[in-house]
Amino acid sequence: MKRELVKYLLLVAAAVSMPYFFSDGYMMNVLVFVGINTMLAVALNLLLGFAGQISLGHAGFFGLGAYISGVLTATHQVNPWLAMLIAAIAVSFLAFLIGFPILKLKGHYLAMATLGLGIIIYIVFNEAVDITGGPSGLSGIPNLALGSLVFDNDVKNYCLVWTFTIVTILLAVNLAHSRIGRALRAIHDSEVAARVMGVNVRLLKVQIFALSAFISAVAGSLYAHVMTFAAPASFGFHFSVELVTMVIIGGLGSIYGSLFGATLLTLLPELLRTFQDYDIIIYGLILILVTMFMPGGLVQGIPSLLGALLPKKKEGRG
Amino acid sequence: MLKIKNINTYYGQVHALKNVSIHLARGEIVTLIGANGAGKTTVLNSISAVTPVRNGEILFNTSPAHSLSPDRVVGMGISQVPEGRQVFKPLTVEDNLELGAYLRIRKREGRGVIRQSLEEVYTLFPRLKERRKQLAGTLSGGEQQMLAIGRALMAQPLLLLLDEPSMGLAPLVVQEIFTVLKNLRSEKGTTILLVEQNAKAALKMADRGYVLETGKVILEGLASELLENKEVQRAYLGKEKKEIWER
């Protein structure tokens, strides 16, 4: 537990020091997205990495969080914080209801079902023009505010988003080390054995699905209030796959892995801008290399890579 | 303690258990023997509620257990050691054991009591203590079986269901495990229902036995009597094999 505390404090220190390193707005803006994506990757990791249940529809939950929050505030003038809460509760409730039939499925079938769910949500965003504004998006979403402090620039947004991100990571790490975390990993390994241990497998799977959706919806709501705009294109199938990639590249079943995965996948496109048209090729190449040479994800791969690169102690070579 | 009355279990169209009735008194060791596909595992899974029974009754200490969910059954005091061990391979030995106490931790039983149960399991199987930080997948087959039994014991069961604990293990290890089971009964009074392919070893240890064939109980009696029974000897103990072969 002590090691966990040290890791966590390091993370907090790093997050707090970022605004001092990057004074320009552009990098702060990128880091806002790193924070949001980290929340999403952590949420998905609880489901995919711990409980072993795939979801290809998480962008849908993310989008629902953004749109519910956006519509309530922009169209109905609800307080943004209240809207965020309503969005999160509504989305997790929806996930809870859908979870019962959907999570009976396993493997490819579950992937198909969640994929379908994500696509349905995406179509609703596009077609319910009266409510969502359709493909051209929903604008005029207000910023979040605490009293007279309005989160309306990059540094303020950074502080806002990363407060949520850090709390999410704390919650997830605690959950991972609890009785529930153990039970989730047990489900991942063998559902029958988990069941005869007294774990209510069906309910627990649905509960973790709902929790995952809750976090995703909060991230969506933050996204909407930071961007003050939401369009369907950000919540499509492609983004769901990207989230799964973040979790896998970072390391399945590792909370900090999700942080690294989300960071890498968010920063890479920005860093590769200099290569212009070739950026997508290099991006793909890096992903392939990471999966090939770091099968356990970045959390396991980076330490062993460092171990290999650092000068070795004198060993007799045969 | 456990009364199974005329249960019928189906897998889709397949009628797996046909009017099976079994009873166990407190502190008894009862074994269930039979060939592959006879329905032995199905009996255990029906008790554990992993496979639902279609009709019939399962009474545990006079309260019905056939319509409960698996976690409720564990909560009543029935733990299963599943076939093929099914330890959680990516988890450490200690995490596996703590999962056995899942419901007890949920009921907010203190850290101290759980710790104590953990130590009891370690006394039973000292090898698990040596390896407690190791991943369960790296244990040998015998150690995994010990872990599976220890994990079930962490729930402090009144009735322990064992599904082929001798599967794929060296005779010496089987002996070691059976000794532990016998001690468990004499020290803690745990009732044991043992499903076995290794009919001889099982009948030697048990008080009573049932013989299952294609989903039906075809014989029951004292274990010592079953050991002497000509039909059992022929079919399950491998005696007079030559005679049949010559026929």
Q: Which residue has the higher pLDDT, B35 or A92?
A: A92
What percent of chain A is predicted at pLDDT more than 70?
97
In this predicted structure, which of A15-29, A64-78, A110-124, B125-139 has the lowest mean pLDDT? A15-29
pLDDT digits (tens, 9 = 90+) for A121-167: 999 999 999 999 999 999 999 999 998 899 988 899 999 999 999 99
pLDDT reading at B180 higher than 70: yes
- Compute the mean pLDDT over every residue in chain B, rounded to the nearest whole number: 91
Distance from CA of A49 to the nearest CA of B (A): 12
pLDDT digits (tens, 9 = 90+) for A7-36: 999 999 999 998 888 877 788 999 999 999
Query: What is the pTM assigned to this prediction?
Result: 0.87
Average pLDDT over residues A168-191: 94
Q: How does residue B40 score in pLDDT terms, banded at 50, 70 and 90?
A: very high
Mutate to test the interface with A, among B71, B76, B153, B158 (most CBs of A within 10 A): B71
pLDDT digits (tens, 9 = 90+) for A221-246: 999 999 999 999 999 999 999 999 99
CA distance linking residue A218 with residue A229, whole number of Å: 16
CA distance linking residue A164 with residue B129, whole number of Å: 41
In a domain, A263, yes or no: no
Task: Please report residues of B whose CB lies closer than 8 A to that of A198.
Answer: 70-71, 74-75, 102-103, 155
- Contact between chains at A198 and B90 (C-beta distance less than 8 A): no
Distance from CA of B223 to the nearest CA of A (A): 28
How confident is the model at residue A317, as a pLDDT? Answer: 42
Distance from CA of A265 to the nearest CA of B (A): 27
Q: Which residue has the higher pLDDT, B143 or A310?
A: B143
Identify the DSSP state of B159. E
In this predicted structure, which of A118-127, A156-165, A206-215, A270-279 has the lowest mean pLDDT? A270-279
End-to-end CA separation in angstroms for chain B? 45
In a domain, A313, yes or no: no
- Contact between chains at A198 and B86 (C-beta distance less than 8 A): no
Q: Domain of A167?
A: 2-243
Q: How does residue A314 score in pLDDT terms, banded at 50, 70 and 90?
A: very low
The β-bridge relationship of strands B2-11 and B55-60 is: antiparallel
b/e for A186-198, b at 16 or more Cβ within 10 A? bbbbbbbbbbbbb
Average pLDDT over residues B177-193: 93
How confident is the model at residue A315, as a pLDDT? Answer: 46
pLDDT reading at B19 higher than 80: yes
In this predicted structure, which of A21-30, A115-124, A191-200 has the lowest mean pLDDT? A21-30
Q: What is the 3-state secondary structure (H, E, C) of chain A?
A: CHHHHHHHHHHHHHHHHHHHHCCCHHHHHHHHHHHHHHHHHHHHHHHHHHCCCCCCCHHHHHHHHHHHHHHHHHHCCCCHHHHHHHHHHHHHHHHHHHHHHHCCCCHHHHHHHHHHHHHHHHHHHHHCHHHHCHHHCEECCCCCEECCEECCCHHHHHHHHHHHHHHHHHHHHHHHCCHHHHHHHHHHHCHHHHHHCCCCHHHHHHHHHHHHHHHHHHHHHHHHHHHCEECHHHHCHHHHHHHHHHHHHHCCCCHHHHHHHHHHHHHHHHHHHHHHHHHHHHHHHHHHHHHHHCCCCHHHHHHHHHHHHCCCCCCCCC
In a domain, A295, yes or no: no
Q: Which residue has the higher pLDDT, A126 or A270?
A: A126
How confident is the model at residue B245, as a pLDDT? Answer: 54
In a domain, A287, yes or no: no
- Per the structure, the count of domains in chain A is 1
pLDDT reading at A313 higher than 60: no
CA distance linking residue B101 with residue B97, whole number of Å: 7
How confident is the model at residue A304, as a pLDDT? Answer: 83
In a domain, A40, yes or no: yes
In a domain, A254, yes or no: no
Distance from CA of B19 to the nearest CA of A (A): 24
Mutate to test the interface with B, among A185, A187, A196, A300 (most CBs of B within 10 A): A196
How confident is the model at residue B119, as a pLDDT? Answer: 95
Distance from CA of B229 to the nearest CA of A (A): 35
In a domain, A264, yes or no: no
- Contact between chains at B90 and A193 (C-beta distance less than 8 A): no
Task: Please report residues of B whose CB lies closer than 8 A to that of A193.
Answer: 82, 86-88
How confident is the model at residue A316, as a pLDDT? Answer: 43
pLDDT reading at A270 higher than 90: no
For A87, the token pair is 């969005």
Q: How does residue A308 score in pLDDT terms, banded at 50, 70 and 90?
A: confident
- Contact between chains at B82 and A193 (C-beta distance less than 8 A): yes
pLDDT reading at A267 higher than 80: yes
Residue in B48, B87, B98 nearest the CB of A182: B98
Distance of CA B119 to the CA centre of its chain: 22
Kindly provide the ipTM of the predicted complex, given to two decimals: 0.80
How confident is the model at residue B235, as a pLDDT? Answer: 80
Q: How does residue A254 score in pLDDT terms, banded at 50, 70 and 90?
A: very high
CA distance linking residue B78 with residue B58, whole number of Å: 12
Q: Which residue has the higher pLDDT, A253 or B239?
A: A253
**Residue A136 burial (CB count, 10 A):** 10
In a domain, A315, yes or no: no
pLDDT digits (tens, 9 = 90+) for B69-128: 999 999 999 999 998 889 999 999 999 999 999 999 988 888 899 999 999 999 999 999
